[in-house]
Amino acid sequence: MPRASRFDADIASFKGIRIVDWTREPVLQSEHDARTRIYMTTPTLAGTTAVKAELITYPRGAAAPEHYHQGAEHFQYVISGSGTAVLNGTEHRLEAGDILYNLPDEWHYFYTDSAAEEAFVFVELFVPGHCRTIWAKDASACAWLPTGKDIRGAAPAREIGYHVHGEDAGL
């Protein structure tokens, strides 16, 4: 990754490609609703803090609280379903195949319609991988609970405990 050292000073010690079977990673459940998250690339899995990737699922009627990320740009690639991204107060409809770019410090959140036919699923990439999440006043922070299962319903390859998004130690 050219110039990745600007995101990870230790990238020079990175030894080749790592293949991660993210399907064996634990599914985490939002403590506030039915949203789920699977970490696909983290410092523990990839050996670098240059990038972090997550698979996020919003079933019908789900919404995240408004927030922004300090210190990272991030992108979402929509895999299936549709949802709405609200960026600095402006709504943007997203469908499978769309890519969204978020600036650092840009207020945003996502939601799905209660009548949605299928879940809104997207991969989210952060560059660099670590950032601080700032929640809107009176918002409940996105906290994640372990389910004890991977995406196939089996025991996951590792355990990730309860945590608030943006507090990524040990991921």
- Whole-angstrom distance, CA of residue 51 vs CA of residue 74: 10
Does the predicted model carry a pTM greater than 0.95? Answer: no
39 neighbors 152 (Cβ within 8 angstroms): no
Question: What is the C-alpha separation between 110 and 59, in angstroms, rounded?
Answer: 12
Separation CA 91–CA 50 (nearest Å)? 29
- CA–CA gap between residue 12 and residue 167 (Å, rounded): 25
Q: Following CA atoms 119, 120, 125, 131 in sequence, which dihedral angle do they give, to the nearest 10 degrees?
A: -90
CA-based torsion, 100, 93, 77, 7: positive or negative:
positive
Domains of the chain, start order: 20-164 (2.60.120.10)
- Which residue, 83, 125, 91, is CA-closest to 108? 91
pLDDT of residue 18 exceeding 80: no
Give the pLDDT score at 13. Answer: 61
pLDDT in tens, 56-68: 999 999 999 999 9
Residue 11: what pLDDT? 67
Q: For 115-171, what is each residue's pLDDT tens digit?
A: 888 999 999 999 998 888 999 999 888 899 999 999 999 999 999 999 888 777 778
Enumerate residues 6+ apart whose C-beta is below 8 A from 135: 65, 66, 67, 141
Residue 149 to residue 36: CA distance in whole angstroms: 12
DSSP secondary structure string, 5-30?
Answer: GGT-TTGGG--S-----GGGSPPEEE
